[in-house]
Amino acid sequence: MNVLIVFAHPEPMSFGRALKDRAVGALQAAGHQVEVSDLYAMGFNPVASAQDFTERRFPDALQYDREQKHATAHHAFSDDIQQEIDKLQACDMLILQFPLWWFSTPAIMKGWIDRVFVNGLVYGSGRRFDAGGMKGKRAMVSITTACYPEMVEPDGLLAHLDINLWHLQHGTLAYAGFDVLAPFAAWSIHYTTPERRSGYLDEYAKRLSGIENETPMPTHPLADFGKDWRMLPGIEPRTVGHRRPLVKPA
Amino acid sequence: MNVLIVFAHPEPMSFGRALKDRAVGALQAAGHQVEVSDLYAMGFNPVASAQDFTERRFPDALQYDREQKHATAHHAFSDDIQQEIDKLQACDMLILQFPLWWFSTPAIMKGWIDRVFVNGLVYGSGRRFDAGGMKGKRAMVSITTACYPEMVEPDGLLAHLDINLWHLQHGTLAYAGFDVLAPFAAWSIHYTTPERRSGYLDEYAKRLSGIENETPMPTHPLADFGKDWRMLPGIEPRTVGHRRPLVKPA
C-alpha cells in the first residue's frame, strides 16, 4: 500500500514523533510505501480562506465549499492544498497521528482536513460513506493522550472513546468513504514509564505490520437509510453512534 | 450577564455574520454586555506553539499543557492569548458561533480553544465538570450547516447532533465546567429561502432574549463516578453519550 501519515505535534522530540517514526519503519519493513505530512515542520496554514483558490466562481462572496467544487473541476487550488490533495489521492491508507486536544485534532490538523478534504473529490454531489470519494482506502486515527483508558469506556467519565471521536472517525473519515480501522491510543502519556512507552512503540509497530488485513469498524451503507435520511425499518443499528453502547449491562 | 461571542467565518457577508450581529443586538436589548472575538477579522493565530509563552518552565522540550500551567501561574502568555483569557474570565456566558465543518469548528476556532482554554485556569489539577474552571458560566454552540435536521436525529444518517458535537459540548465545554445549553442550528443553509433565513434570525434573537433562564443540558457531576472513573452503581446515565437513546422506539 501507499500510506500517508499526517502528523501534528508542536515538539520535534515528542513521543508522538517517536510513534510516527516507528510507524514509518514498520510500514516500510512490511513492504509499504510511506509519505509523511509533518504539519508543524511544514508550517502548514490551517486557516481556510479566499486565498485557497487561484480563480473564483463566485467572486463577490466566499462560499467555501462551492469554491472547492469549482477548484476541483478547474485545478484552481493554491499549491499547498494541491500538494496535499495529490498525496491523499495517491494513498491507499491514511493515518492521522496527533495528541488528543479537547477530544479532537490540534487546530493545525483540523485545518488540513478543512482545506484538503475538498468538495468535488472527497465529498459533495452524493459522495459520502459507501459512495464517498475515498472509497476503497483505509484510515486510522492514532493518538497520544493524558486520558486514562477507563475514562473513555462506555460508562467512563467522558463516555466511549469512539463517541468522543465520532465527529472525526464517522463524520469525517467514514463520511469521506474511508474504511475506518479502530483507533490506536497511547494512554496517560505524561505519566508512563520509559518501559511502557517502549511497549506502545512495539505494539503500534506490530499492529501496523498487518494493518492491510484488519477488519474496519462497522459503518452503515447509504442503502440502510430512506429518502428522509432515517434508518429504514428492520435495519439493526451497528455503529457506536447509532447504537449507544450498553452502559450498565444487566 | 457579560456575554462573549467567539465567531468564525471566512466571509464577512455570510449568514453566520448576520446571526452574530443579530445576537449582539438581541443580547444588548435584553440588558446584557456583549464582547465579540471575530477570529477571521482578528487574524487569530490558531497554531499552538512554543511562541505562546514568554517564559518556559521546561525549555528543552515543549510540553504544551505543562507550560500552560506555568504560564497561568506566572502571567507568561503571549499577548494574543492573554487578551482572550481576559475576555473568557470576564464573561458569564460564552457563545461559539461557526459554520459546522466536518462536524466540528473551523480550525481557527479549534485553535482558539487549544490556546485559550488553558491549564491551571480552565482545566487541570482536578478542574473539570462541576469542579471545572468555568463553573458558574453558561455556554452555547451556535451553528450554520448544510446538513438537514433529519440527518442528525438518533436514527439519522449521521447519528444524533449531540453525538457529533460530543467532543465540543461535553469533552470541551462541560469538561471546562460550563453549564451547556442546547445548541442553536440554522439548517441546510445553502438551500434556504430569504424568508427562512429571516425566520432563523428571529428565532435566534427570541431564544437569546431569555437565555439566562434556560435549563442546561444534563451533565453528570464528578461524584457520579468512582475512583476508577466509571459510573457508580445505581446512577442513571442521563447524557446523550452515556445513555443509550432509543434508536427505534418500539
Ordered alpha helix ranges (H), B30-131: 39-42, 64-74, 79-90, 107-116
Furthest C-alpha separation in chain B: 60
Please provide the distance, in angstroms rounded to a whole number, between the alpha carbons at the two ends of chain B. Answer: 44
Q: What is the dihedral of CA A61, A63, A68, A74, to 10 degrees?
A: -40
d(Cα A147, Cα B127) in Å, to the nearest integer?
A: 14
Going by pLDDT thresholds of 50, 70 and 90, the confidence category of residue B236 is confident
What is the chain B residue with the closest CA to A247? B242
Look at A159 and B239 and tell me if their CB atoms are within 8 Å.
Answer: yes
- Give me the residue spans of the domains in chain B: 2-216
Look at A167 and B104 and tell me if their CB atoms are within 8 Å.
Answer: yes
List of chain B residues whose C-beta atoms are within 8 Å of the C-beta of residue A117: 102
pLDDT surpasses 60 at A248: no
In CATH terms, B2-216 corresponds, of 3.40.50.300, 3.40.50.360, 3.30.830.10, 3.10.129.10, to 3.40.50.360
Residue A196: CB atoms within 10 Å: 14
pLDDT in tens, A128-162: 999 999 999 999 999 999 999 999 998 899 999 99
List of chain A residues whose C-beta atoms are within 8 Å of the C-beta of residue B104: 104, 110, 167-168, 171
Going by pLDDT thresholds of 50, 70 and 90, the confidence category of residue B244 is low
Look at B222 and A157 and tell me if their CB atoms are within 8 Å.
Answer: yes
List of chain A residues whose C-beta atoms are within 8 Å of the C-beta of residue B225: 156-157
pLDDT of residue A250: 37
CATH superfamily of A2-217: Flavodoxin domain (3.40.50.360)
| pTM, rounded to two decimals | 0.97
List of chain A residues whose C-beta atoms are within 8 Å of the C-beta of residue B247: 231, 237, 242-243
Ordered alpha helix ranges (H), chain A: 15-29, 39-42, 64-74, 79-90, 107-116, 161-164, 166-168, 194-209
d(Cα A158, Cα A162) in Å, to the nearest integer?
A: 11
Q: Which residues contact A34 (CB under 8 A, 6 or more apart)?
A: A2, A3, A4, A5, A23, A24, A27, A28
Look at B108 and A159 and tell me if their CB atoms are within 8 Å.
Answer: no
Going by pLDDT thresholds of 50, 70 and 90, the confidence category of residue A249 is very low
What is the chain B residue with the closest CA to A172? B102
User: Grid coordinates representing A141?
Assistant: 486515527
Which residue, among A131, A144, A219, has the nearest Cα to A183 in the 3D structure?
A: A144
pLDDT of residue A195: 95
pLDDT in tens, A77-131: 999 999 999 999 999 999 999 999 999 999 999 999 999 999 999 999 999 999 9
Residue B144: CB atoms within 10 Å: 26
